[in-house]
């Protein structure tokens, strides 16, 4: 892990939010890559300061970390494999909306 920290900002409603920023490097076939993505979904990079502090403790700057990259596109990488819960919920909501839209679209054509 090259660098990691928490940045305080505001969302579009003016509410205070905290964002995790990280940067790490890894080597694939003697080529060095840089990335900053923690996981798929990225929802775990915005939130309460306490939750982000836990992530900071897991990945202190200077620590060697495991990086998971796409073998077909090595510049795409994460350090926490799997999908976040919020991404799963988002996909579920989108699937339900798609089914509802298709249902009403099929009714309109008959």
Q: Mind spelling out the 3-state secondary structure of 42-92?
A: CHHHEECHHHHHHHHHHCCCCCCCCCEEECCEEEEEECCCCECHHHHHHHH
Question: Residue 55 in contact with residue 20, Cβ under 8 Å?
Answer: yes
Span 83-96, pLDDT tens digits: 555 555 666 778 88
**Other Cβ atoms closer than 10 A to 76:** 13
Question: What does the DSSP assignment read for 11-34?
Answer: -TTS-EEEEEEEEEEEEETTEEEE
Span 10-53, pLDDT tens digits: 888 888 888 888 999 999 999 999 999 888 765 556 777 778 88
**Total-model pTM:** 0.65
- Which distant-in-sequence residues (6+ apart) come within 8 Å of 37 by Cβ? 77, 78, 79
């Amino acid at each position: 892990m090259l660098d990691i920290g928490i940045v305080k900002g505001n969302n579009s409603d003016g509410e205070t939010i905290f964002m995790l920023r990280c940067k790490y490097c890894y080597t694939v076939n003697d080529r060095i890559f840089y990335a900053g993505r923690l996981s798929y979904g990225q929802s775990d990079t915005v939130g309460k300061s306490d939750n982000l502090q836990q992530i900071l403790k897991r990945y202190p700057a200077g620590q060697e970390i495991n990086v998971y990259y796409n073998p077909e596109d090595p510049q795409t990488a994460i350090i926490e494999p799997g999908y976040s819960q919020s991404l799963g919920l988002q996909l579920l909501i989108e699937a339900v909306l798609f089914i509802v839209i298709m249902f009403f679209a099929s009714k309109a054509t008959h």
